[in-house]
Amino acid sequence: MEMKLTKEMFCYQCQEAAKGTGCILKGICGKNSSTSSAMDLLLFVVRGVCTVADILRANGHQIGEEVNSFVTDALFSTITNANFDDESILARVDKGMNLRNNLVDLACEKGISLPMVDELIWMGSRSDYVEKSRMVGVLRENDEDLRSLKELIVYGLKGIAAYHEHAMRLGYSNEDIHAFMHSTIRKITTDKLSAEELTGLVLHSGEVGVKVMALLDKANTESYGHPEMTEVNIGVGKNPGILISGHDLHDIEDLLKQTEGTGVDVYTHSEMLPAHYYPAFKKYRHFVGNYGNAWWKQREEFTAFNGPIVFTTNCIVPPLEKATYKERMFTSNSTGYPGCKHITADIDGRKDYSEVIAMAKGCEAPTPIEKGKIVGGFAHNQVLLLADKVVDAVKSGAIRKFIVMAGCDGRMKSRDYYTEFAKALPADCVILTAGCAKYKYNKLELGDINGIPRVLDAGQCNDSYSLAVIALKLKEVFGVNDINELPIVYNIAWYEQKAVIVLLALLSLGVKNIHLGPTLPAFLSPNVAKVLVEKFGIAGIGTVNEDMKAFGIVN
Ligand code: SF4
Ligand code: SF3
């Protein structure tokens, strides 16, 4: 399919890409064309920074934390539903231009020659940004297969950046991961890579995806303990509350500390639910529960919550014009929304939530929307503590199959498939999950098998790492040679770019026959999709019944 440069925008990075091909006027997610253009320009600047940083590194120069953090944050801020604020994206462009110029000066001083690419030469200022942004977006690559592979790599890198940033906030920054990101982006920028070479980079990104998830797992568990089997309250208390969303555990720690003794309770939303599983946070009596569901239900749920809402990462749904909660929305880190107060960290990385807490004190307690409890906390350590029980259940036939249903939730009706799939699973099947996909079935009464819940929630999307650790452990216990010989099948739901790196990570571990839904990515060209199907057995979803048969769950 030939694509032309569009005047407005072109984005096809998420599962909601318009018409299954790409958003061209405004994002289905709510992203304006101006924001999309600003992000295209930011990625252009990131390519420049990475190119010169990689060349300096190759010449023996150390790259400072400022450059590493810039690239990580810039990539994160372009993830779907993270940032809708043009000014905050443009400020990143300005910063990136400065960094790039300083690095280029340094290279010149040292006599290091640089390639003559536009990303290193262009010297525009704010008044030139709009025009430039139209030339440097996704469609700059004319060949649709090369474009597909390059974008697949960049989306994987965005996922890596997101997970790395959480780890970095806890003091776990990995130079090899930064160097890999820079060199990969440099190669995309300066080298004329063949489809084969780009495919190699896709798989290498998956390997680094495993590394970054392992690093974040280490950062989270060394800082806050290992997640434990936990019952989480989904009802409400009588105090006013603050709702915290996203994936950043350092932020919730700050918030829990600062709200202690203030009479303000803390609730999690969507992907922050797994914070309840960590021993370090369980000790807070005012950490009341999880309010609501996955990100896409936030318009109704934030209205009913009555108190302030803090975003630590995506996913933001743009509030409607008449929304009553917009003044109560706070963003931080890579997120941004025009008109919402942005909370920044001090020099020690600590965020001051006093304004949020003061606002909460004047708000009503949350309106109850659900009651009861859900169970989670089955990250690798907890599951391995139960290993004997699990292995016995598999050996006796009480558990016949594990179905990995990790990934994302979303508003498309077609995602009801996952609820129906969970409901239709025979009683001897167990769901392993991570990410916000779980909200499609975590409130169904699916029961347990010999005390093992039939939905084992490892945590956030990054905790998909736990699912890999569990699979590798089972491989060892059952003495099989290949991970694909285990009674585990993969039916993954994706939405944004963090799910892309989870997918690439699974591929790099040798997992085959992953089903991906509710639709295959728009950014996979027919040829690239064909390679993924032939090489890895990737498939889309069909009907529940067809897929149950395809997975060998029913005959
Ligand atoms: Fe469209 Fe998704 Fe891009 Fe938003 S992020 S503009 S919905 S493809
Ligand atoms: Fe969810 Fe955005 Fe993907 Fe972290 S919060 S899994 S969609």
Each residue's pLDDT tens digit, 96-127: 999 999 999 999 999 999 999 999 999 999 99
Provide the pLDDT for residue 7. 64
Backbone angles phi and psi of 110, in degrees to 5: -85, 0
Three-state secondary-structure class, residue 498: helix
Phi first, then psi, for residue 496 (nearest 5°) are: -120, -165
Q: Which ligand is nearest to the CA of 497?
A: 2
The CATH code of the domain at 386-550 is 3.40.50.2030
First-to-last alpha carbon distance for the chain, in angstroms, is 39
Mean pLDDT for 295-312 is 98
Starting at the edge strand found earlier in the chain, the sheet holding 241-245 runs 287-290, 265-268, 241-245, 309-311, 329-332, 341-343
* Residue 16 Cβ < 6 Å to ligand 2: no
CA distance 109 to 102: 11
At residue 31 the predicted structure's pLDDT band, cuts being 50, 70 and 90, is: very high
Q: Check pLDDT > 80 for residue 504.
A: yes
Encode pLDDT of 221-245 as tens digits: 999 999 999 999 999 999 999 999 9
552: left (phi over 0), alpha (psi -120 to 50) or beta: left
According to the model, what pLDDT value does residue 3 have?
A: 41
Rg (CA), the chain: 23
Does position 6 have pLDDT exceeding 80, yes or no?
A: no
Q: What is the mean pLDDT of residues 533-553?
A: 97
What separation in Å is there between the alpha carbon of 175 and the centre of ligand 1?
A: 31
**The CATH number, out of the four listed (3.40.50.2030, 3.50.40.10, 1.20.140.10, 1.10.150.120), of the domain defined by the range 230-361:** 3.40.50.2030
Q: Say what the pLDDT of residue 108 is.
A: 97
pTM of the model: 0.97
Is 502's C-beta closer than 6 angstroms to any atom of ligand 2?
no
Phi first, then psi: give them for residue 308, nearest 5 degrees: -65, 155
pLDDT of residue 8: 85
* Res 1 pLDDT > 90: no
CA atoms of 237 and 298, how far apart (whole Å):
20
Read off the DSSP letter of residue 488: E
- CA dist 231 and 213 (Å) reads 25
Averaged pLDDT, 40-51: 98
**84: CB partners within 8 A, 6+ apart:** 30, 31, 32, 35, 316, 318, 336, 337, 338
- Of all atoms in ligand 2, which is nearest to the CA of residue 271? 5
Q: With 80 as the cut, is the pLDDT of residue 5 above it?
A: no
Are domains 230-361 and 386-550 of this chain identical in fold?
yes
Domain boundaries of the chain, sorted by first residue: 18-222, 230-361, 386-550
163 lines ligand 2 (CB under 6 A): no
The SS3 call for residue 217 is helix
Q: Is the pLDDT reported for residue 4 higher than 50? A: no
Dist CA 197 CA 339 (whole Å): 44
Q: Give the nearest ligand 2 atom to 461 CA.
A: 4
- Helix (H), strand (E) at residue 493: strand 488-493
- Does position 334 have pLDDT exceeding 70, yes or no? yes
Whether domain 18-222 has CATH 1.20.1270.20: the reply is yes
pLDDT, residue 294, reads 98
Question: What digits encode the pLDDT tens for the residues 388-428?
Answer: 999 999 999 999 999 999 999 999 999 999 999 999 999 99
Report whether 15 contacts 295 (CB < 8 A): no
Integer Cα distance of 307 and 475 in angstroms: 47
Is residue 295 lining ligand 2, measured as CB closer than 6 Å? Answer: yes
Question: Percent of the chain at pLDDT above 70?
Answer: 99
What is the pLDDT, as a whole number, of residue 512?
96
